[in-house]
Amino acid sequence: MKGLVKYALGPGNLAVQDVPEPDMRPGHVKIEVRATGICGTDLHIYAHEYPCRPPVVLGHEVAGIVVDADGTDHIAPGDAVTALPTVIVCGACRYCQEGQLSLCPTRLSFGSGIQGAFTRYLVVPAWSIRKLPAHIDCHSGAMSEPLSCCVKAVSLLTRVTAGDIVVVTGPGPIGLLTAQVARAEGAYVILTGTSIDRERLALGARWVDLTVNIEEENLDEIVKDLTDGHGADIVLECSGSAAATCSGIDLLRKEGILMQIGLHGRPFEIDLFKAELKEITLRTSFSGSLQSWDRTMTLLRQKKIELAPIVSDVLPITEWKTAFDRLHRKEGMKILLSPVD
């Protein structure tokens, strides 16, 4: 079968190659992949800004159909499913005990540490499988994983609450999912971007209270007007741009919370003194957790989150370069890759 392989460390080094079909194992489930989302992390791996173990098939935002299942009664062939990518963990450390699998020191995820989902078949432990609700197809279902990251950041770590004035910076797929989760928690949500994000902001408008193009409008004034001059309660930074993180500190009220969700990929400077004077809490969130996956599947079952409008394209994996180039130019929204024979 064909897979999109990072074949060596360093920038680039990505190609569609022949890879062996994975063997079915006891206690595992074999999925025929229908669609796998391209994540910012994949772009970072392409640019040599995120750890991986080549040669490795990339792709960790998967949905597909079960073709073989062992060791589980809740999953059967024919089921549409998604999977937690953090499939190799020690199971014994404090983070595993807490369900924070992505923090386990021996953690490996499919799509970076072991064979991922930009290919036809994937074999993963039965415990990592989650059945998609009936109304979620495999294209939308591929976004369960990024949604679980947003749910952890917004609901579990930041604890966004009804009445909070929340600014979401960066209207990419993570920003739009983050904004939807914050809205589902009851917050007043302002989604921001620049002129290059015009279409993304227009799409985001259906889920938020206000969208702001920061090149055309004065975001600071808008937030001050909404908050009696105090500033936002929470900034959820989803762009991974240093400028957005820095301006997030300015937008917050005293004792506000900055949650960094977008990955920066490299070090950058921040005015921590400014944050100190306002007693701002700086938090970060990386990947999902067992708890956030549970809540994610519940939110999807309750139809609290819309995924389908965020998928802009589905391309065969052989067109990965077109897709990566488009995402670098910030064109489209979530682009999915589908397997080829």
Which residues form the interface with Zn ion (CB under 5 A)? 39, 41, 89-90, 93, 96, 104
Q: What is the nearest approach in angstroms of Zn ion to the Cβ of residue 294? A: 18
Instruction: Report the alpha-carbon distance of residue 245 to residue 236 in Å, rounded.
Output: 9
Residue closer to Zn ion, measured from CB, 42 or 233 = 42
Least distance to Zn ion, CB of residue 212, Å: 26
Minimum separation from the CB atom of position 287 to Zn ion (A): 8
Distance, CA of 294 to chain centre: 16
The answer to whether the Cα torsion of 75, 80, 84, 89 is positive or negative is positive
**Shortest Å distance, C-beta 104 to Zn ion:** 3
DSSP state of 300: H
Query: In the sheet that 2-6 helps form, which strands lie side by side, from edge to edge?
Result: 14-18, 2-6, 56-57
Q: Which residue lies nearer to Zn ion by CB, 38 or 275?
A: 38
**Spatial distance between the Cα atoms of 76 and 121, rounded to a whole number of angstroms:** 16
Q: Which residue's CB is nearer to Zn ion, number 223 or number 335?
A: 335
Q: How far is the CB of 90 from Zn ion (least distance, A)?
A: 4
Identity of the residue, 57 or 96, whose beta carbon is nearer to Zn ion in the bound complex: 96
Q: Which is nearer to Zn ion, 104 or 150 (CB)?
A: 104
Q: Which residue lies nearer to Zn ion by CB, 110 or 121?
A: 110
- What span, in angstroms and rounded, lies between the C-alpha atoms of 191 and 339? 34
Q: Tell me whether residue 93 or residue 246 sits nearer to Zn ion (CB atom).
A: 93
DSSP 8-state secondary structure symbol assigned to residue 127: G
> What's the CA gap between 129 and 115, in Å, rounded?
16
Distance in Å, CB of 128 to Zn ion, minimum: 14
With a CB cutoff of 8 Å and minimum separation 6, the contacts of 148 are: 84, 288, 289, 292, 293, 296
Question: C-beta of 40: minimal distance to Zn ion in Å?
Answer: 7
We find the least distance from the C-beta atom of residue 77 to Zn ion, in angstroms, to be 27
Helix crossing, 290-301 with 144-151: angle to 10°? 110
Residue (of 304, 286, 317) closest to 120 by Cα position: 317
Q: What is the distance between the alpha carbons of residues 211 and 190, in angstroms, rounded to a whole number? A: 6
Smaller CB separation from Zn ion, 66 or 143 = 143
DSSP string for residues in 12-57? --EEEEE-PPPPP-TTEEEEEEEEEE--HHHHHHHTT-S---SSEE
